[in-house]
Structures are given as structure tokens and as C-alpha cells.
């Protein structure tokens, strides 16, 4: 038990990096958003919106998926969707290595659960993962809209509209959000 508590504390020290890992998104006060802030906002949106879905999801599972979906960025870093180059090319491999390391660091059933939840998100196959992915994109759009438009890269105008409309088609109940 003592060894497990130590392992948890070590993992929490690793996950604390997500509070310092900055994303491309900016906050309304002009500060860059951290990965941890993005994850928190996604979880809040899930809690507020899940009852409005046409088909119910297991909100507990959705919240777990959201909590772990970007954990790999504590080791691999955040890479914007629109980035090109070597970092982007290596992203998938680095994230797969990171989730393996996380599974090893946490160990046991909990490490395996984190590993499986992350892969569920990446596979996009369950209703819960699809909802989490839509929320991942929605949070980015909302945050971009709250921030000064001068923080947007030109590609983001096209990217955000395309992704948002794709998610609205995937989940028709989101169309009313798209029209706001």
C-alpha cells in the first residue's frame, strides 16, 4: 500500500506538468490556456450538456475519458492540430510511448484503466468517446471565441468551422449550439 501511495504521488507530480503545458488557445484575459484548463473546461461542458444529447451516454465514463485524453501531453507535449513538421509527424508515436509509460508508472488496474480510456478516446468508436471528441473540439471553439480574434492563426478560421460543423453533423443535438 505504501508503494502504491508513492506511485500515485509520483504520477500526480508528472500530471502537474499539464498545468504548465501551454496550448495554442488564448484566454479572454490574454493569457495562454494550459492543457489542464482545457481538460477542466471540457469536463464542465460535459456535465452541463450531456442531458441534452439525443442518445444518453455514461457521464461517469465520459468524465474519465476527458480526464485522461491529454495525459500523454505531460510527457509528449501539446502540438496544435494545424502544426506541420517533424514534431507533428512524431506526435502519434510519442503519444503511444507516453501512454505506455503512464500505464507502467501508475501500474495495476488503475494504470490499465487509464491506458484503455486513452485508447478508447483515440479510437473514436464508443458513444462516450465520440462525445468527448466533440467536446474537445467544442471547448477549443468556445475558447477561441472568448479570446481576442487577433490570437487566431489564419488556418484556424477554416479549421474551426470545418471541425465544428463535422461534430454538429455527428451529434445533431449540437446543431443548436452551432447556431448560437
Establish if 173 belongs to a structural domain: yes
Establish if 47 belongs to a structural domain: yes
* 61 touches 128 (CB < 8 A): yes
Establish if 9 belongs to a structural domain: yes
Averaged pLDDT in 10-residue chunks for the chain of 180 residues: 84 97 92 97 96 93 98 95 89 97 94 98 96 91 83 70 61 56
Q: Residue 117 sits in which domain range?
A: 2-19+33-178
User: Facing residues of 32 across strands?
Assistant: 26
Establish if 156 belongs to a structural domain: yes
Establish if 149 belongs to a structural domain: yes
Establish if 134 belongs to a structural domain: yes
Number of domains in the chain: 1
* 170 touches 134 (CB < 8 A): yes
Establish if 27 belongs to a structural domain: no
Q: What is the CATH number of the domain that holds 14?
A: 1.10.3210.10
Establish if 8 belongs to a structural domain: yes
Q: What is the pLDDT of residue 150?
A: 78
Residue whose cell numbers read 456535465: 47
Helix 59-69 vs helix 35-49: crossing angle, to nearest 10: 170
Q: What is the pLDDT of residue 166?
A: 63
Residue 97: burial class (beta carbons within 10 Å; 0-12, 13-18, 19+): middle
Amino acid at each position: 500500500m505504501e508503494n502504491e501511495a508513492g506511485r500515485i504521488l509520483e504520477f500526480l507530480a508528472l500530471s502537474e506538468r499539464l498545468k504548465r503545458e501551454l496550448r495554442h488557445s488564448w484566454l479572454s484575459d490574454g493569457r495562454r490556456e494550459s492543457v489542464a484548463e482545457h481538460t477542466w473546461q471540457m469536463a464542465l461542458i460535459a456535465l452541463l450538456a450531456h442531458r441534452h444529447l439525443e442518445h444518453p451516454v455514461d457521464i461517469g465514463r465520459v468524465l474519465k475519458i476527458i480526464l485522461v485524453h491529454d495525459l500523454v501531453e505531460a510527457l509528449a507535449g501539446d502540438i496544435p492540430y494545424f502544426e506541420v513538421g517533424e514534431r507533428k509527424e512524431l506526435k502519434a508515436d510519442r503519444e503511444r510511448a507516453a501512454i505506455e509509460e503512464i500505464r507502467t508508472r501508475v501500474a495495476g488496474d488503475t494504470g490499465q484503466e487509464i491506458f484503455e480510456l486513452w485508447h478508447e478516446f483515440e479510437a473514436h468508436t464508443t458513444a462516450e468517446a465520440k462525445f468527448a471528441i466533440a467536446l474537445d473540439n467544442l471547448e477549443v471553439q468556445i475558447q477561441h471565441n472568448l479570446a481576442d480574434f487577433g490570437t487566431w492563426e489564419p488556418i484556424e478560421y477554416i479549421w474551426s468551422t470545418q471541425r465544428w460543423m463535422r461534430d454538429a453533423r455527428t451529434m445533431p443535438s449540437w446543431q443548436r449550439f452551432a447556431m448560437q
